[in-house]
Amino acid sequence: MSKPHFNKDFWVAGLRAEGAAFRTAVGHDGALAAPVPSCPDWTVEDLVRHVAGTYRWVTEHVNRGVTSHPGQPDRSDAPTGAAVLAWWDEQYATLLKLLDWLDPSLPAWNWAPQTKTAEFWHRRMAHETAVHRWDAQMAVALNEPIEAKLAADGITEVLDTWLSAGKRRGPIDRYGVVALRATDVAEVWNVRLRGEGLALLDTDTLLDHHPHNERAVAIGTASDLLLALYGRVPFDVLDTAGDETLLAALRTG
């Protein structure tokens, strides 16, 4: 069974909500100097600078109407200290306004083996912000899960975008089928690992009806599954069975 396909409005709403929560977390007194446990060697100030710089880079290229590579992001002029918060505010507001009106079918470069349209960036910025919001909240002793539907789409994005683009941080010599089961959105993702390659088995094709013979299973909330895929939490926060090295082979970040 294919996964639900969300749209621009869903992702913009996610960006709006997650951005507001991110800003609240990083604006706490003394937060900028706090270490970010889930991003080793970063402080919250580093995290804010990274996210704001990403927003500016996307804003600069996503509405060009072409699919050529835009070049790497440049954060050399990013402010330091408390000024980074005002810089983040500016970049976030500009990106949110742009994505809110931008046609998702406009040609736009992306780094994944997918259609080169702006829709990629509507989705990517929602999930970029959600995961880094979680990072920021952990740094200031908060702990709010990612909203279930957004997290479920984030799991699909990891599998059909990050891993398909070769952005894997786990072992790449694993073979077998892995099932990820979300308890709060009643969804299952089946993935066949083929060493360096992988195949999604939830695509409404004939292969979906073949026995999956799962060699590893992970069960939990969509948020916990997504955070485990990003290496933010260990897989042992989930109910797991089978060969856990297959789960590790799905890590990205």
| Tens digits of residue pLDDT in 62-119 | 999 999 999 999 889 999 999 999 999 999 999 999 999 999 999 999 999 999 999 9
| Domain ranges within the chain, ordered by starting residue | 8-139, 148-248
> What is the residue-averaged pLDDT of the chain?
94
Of 55, 65, 116, 64, nearest to 87 by C-alpha is 55
Q: Do domains 8-139 and 148-248 have the same CATH topology?
A: no
Give every CB contact of residue 177 below 8 A, 6+ residues apart in sequence.
190, 191, 192, 193, 201, 212, 213, 214, 215, 216
Name the percent of the chain lying above pLDDT 90: 88
Q: What would the two tokens of residue 90 be?
A: 């500016």
Q: Residue 236 CB: number of other CB atoms within 10 A?
A: 11
Query: What DSSP string runs through 215-237?
Result: EEEEEE-HHHHHHHHTTSS-GGG
What's 8-139's CATH class? mainly alpha
At residue 200, the pLDDT reads: 87
| Alpha carbon distance 146, 148 (integer Å) | 6
* pLDDT > 70? residue 205: no
Is the pLDDT higher at 207 or at 31? 31
* pLDDT > 50? residue 1: no
* pLDDT > 80? residue 172: yes
At residue 206, the pLDDT reads: 46
Name the CATH superfamily for 148-248. Answer: SCP2 sterol-binding domain (3.30.1050.10)
What band does 213 get if pLDDT is binned at 50, 70 and 90?
confident
At residue 5, the pLDDT reads: 78
Name the percent of the chain lying above pLDDT 70: 94
